[in-house]
Amino acid sequence: MDLAQLAPTTGAAFLASLVECVEAATILLAVGTVRGWRSAFAGLFAGLAALLALVLALGPALSLLPERVLQLVVGLLLLLFGMRWLRKAILRSAGIIALHDEEKVFRSEAANLRMAQASERWGVDPLATATAFKAVLLEGVEVAFLVLAVSAGSPALVWPAALGALAAAALVAVVAFAVHRPLARVPENTLKFAVGVVISAFGIYWTGEGLGVEWPGHDLALLVLGGGLLLAALLGVRLARRPAAGKAAA
Amino acid sequence: MSALRTAWDELVGLFVDDGALALVLVGVCAAVGLLVALASPSPLAAGALLAGGCAAALLASVLRAARR
């Protein structure tokens, strides 16, 4: 396998995972700042351990499924996951819902933690640890799906994709630790828009394979699917803007 | 029990935002699967139906949300 195959996989996983890592880092920063870093790190490591256990348990189980069933299950999950991202990115681009604001999330999370009563068990604050744990586990599950999506069901590409995700996590950790504030400048919606298109295209492709659709051009069909979805999403932004503008004028 | 319920809701929330969109997407996939099994359409027609159906479902969901 050469660099021309590995670089797009690693790069796509890196960019897609960046969004999730930034979201997890914002909550960890809020927990660490308000309730102390010990609880934040306890939640972080517990979340990573739970995620590792989940991947180790479900990874081999997936390989036991017949190929067609696996393609259908993974394809459907990727389709639902990708379309959810794409829908939200379209609505944000059209101004229907507010853009994700890391500073706002940080302030709201910090306020919630300040209001809750502080307590201590085994040297950590249970509420703060649970908040950090939940953030790391949920965003981590999303990263695991992204790795699965961009490795396109090929076992040889899982490690390059995982490497991209790990690089994103390491970069976010280093920058968040250095600046000690939410990373609000990451163009989150643009990344979500692009990643939503890519994951939805993979979802349609694998679901089709699982259903017995023989895609013309095989893997090259992914490019057509991605291009078509991008056009549909851009059309969605245009169409969604009009009623909103009409509503505002009325 | 409520913690399990919360965890389940969070897990479902990873895949389902608009329930109607999720249902229509699963419906489109099921319809294409039935069509492929029963009528053996050309690969191009089956692929176009699957991709077009999913894109149409997405657009309909976006427009529904915009009109709310």
Per-residue model confidence as pLDDT tens for chain A (250 residues): 566 567 777 887 888 888 889 888 988 888 888 888 888 899 999 999 998 888 888 777 777 778 888 888 888 988 998 999 999 999 999 988 887 777 888 888 888 877 777 677 777 788 889 989 988 998 898 888 888 777 766 667 788 888 999 999 999 989 888 877 777 677 778 888 988 998 899 899 989 999 989 898 888 898 999 999 999 999 999 999 865 454 544 4
Residue A246 lies in a domain: no
User: Which residues lie below 8 Å from residue A76, measured CB to CB, with a gap of 6+?
Assistant: A203, A207, A210, B26, B29
User: Which residues lie below 8 Å from residue A26, measured CB to CB, with a gap of 6+?
Assistant: A102, A105, A106, A109, A182, A183
Question: Position of tokens 């300040």?
Answer: A114
Long-range CB contacts (within 8 A, 24+) of B20-26: B20/B61, B20/B64, B21/A83, B21/A84, B21/A87, B21/B57, B21/B58, B21/B60, B21/B61, B22/A80, B24/B57, B24/B60, B24/B61, B25/A79, B25/A80, B25/A83, B25/B54, B25/B57, B26/A76
In chain A, the number of structural domains is 1
The pLDDT, as a whole number, for residue A153 is 61
In this prediction the ipTM stands at: 0.92
Residue A248 lies in a domain: no
Range of the domain at A170: 3-240
The pLDDT, as a whole number, for residue A248 is 47
Chain B residues in contact with A240 (beta carbon < 8 A): 62-63, 65-66
Best mutation target among A58, A71, A80 (most B Cβ atoms within 10 Å) is A80
Question: Within an 8 Å CB–CB cutoff, is residue B37 touching chain A?
Answer: yes
Decide if A85 contacts A195 (C-beta within 8 A): yes
Question: Position of tokens 């994700």?
Answer: A100
Across the interface, whether the CB atoms of B54 and A240 are under 8 A apart is answered no
Q: How far is A70 from chain B (nearest CA, A)?
A: 15
pLDDT digits (tens, 9 = 90+) for B4-57: 677 677 778 878 888 999 999 999 999 999 999 999 889 899 999 999 999 999
A121, β-bridge pairs: A124
Residue A249 lies in a domain: no
